[in-house]
Amino acid sequence: MKGLKRRLLAGETLSGCWLNLGSSITAEIVGLAGFDWVLIDLEHGAGEPKDLLHQLQALAHTKASAIVRVESAARERIHRVLDLGPEGIMCPRIQNVQEARAAVQGMHYPPSGFRGVAKMVRATGFGKNFDNYRANTKEDILGIIQIETLEALTDLEAIAGLDGVDVLFIGPADLSMALGIYGQLDHPLFIEALQKTVQAAQKAGKATGILIFDPKDFAKYQQMGIQLIACGSDATFVANGAAELAKTLNQMKNTSMPK
């Protein structure tokens, strides 16, 4: 473990990005780039669960902590992912405190939760470190609940107050869609929802996170009290880099052609 949860709870602002290509190569490249954390996306990403192990192995020697967004908050899905050794789990589209409680209980062993026990897994050093791993999961595993629906907005304080919920993470696309203002992240309704989320998290001594689309907005969200801030993805980096280079070469090709 690289201390992601401890750093966050100590008040640091931590920058990250998405990994949605399912590639261990791009995971390693991005992990070496200097981000504090990366999120492997099993909800919308191109990768399959079988690709997760290779991405985690590729990230192991980088400074970036690995978080995994699961496509389902089912207990079996969460503990299978945790057995591979990420530092955090993000659960999307959590509607209410009951769903949030079930999600975080799936992240922890009894008596705090109902995660299944398996010693011979990557997270425990294949059995060599099980006792230490089990004793420290409450301090090491970051539990992230996504706030993306109108129902979740009505249950913010109860969700934030749960033991095991460490971060309320705004999903800007889904939440703005739910509010009827898709993509309008400066709209008063979205700003109000964002502020309510931050306030609920801070009241409970928890952190808030968000995915942003323009790095110029980083300071704005940090000043709101948001600590876990992501921008971009491996797919975005490849697409933007390829498009920019192609544009440059085409411009050069057109200007250098003989008259």
Of 147, 242, 139, 241, residue with least CA distance to 195: 147
Give Cβ neighbours of residue 122 (< 8 Å, ≥ 6 apart): 53, 56, 83, 84, 85
Q: Where are the beta strands (DSSP E) in 13-155?
A: 14-19, 37-41, 65-69, 88-91, 142-147
Known catalytic residue: 79?
no
For residue 233, give the H/E element and its range. strand 228-233
Active-site annotation holder among 44, 54, 61, 187: 44
Nearest to 227 by CA among 152, 156, 167: 167
Token pair of 22 as six digits: 């399912």
- Alpha carbon 15 to chain centroid distance? 11
* Cβ pair 243, 227 in contact under 8 A: no
Q: Which residues are catalytic?
A: 44
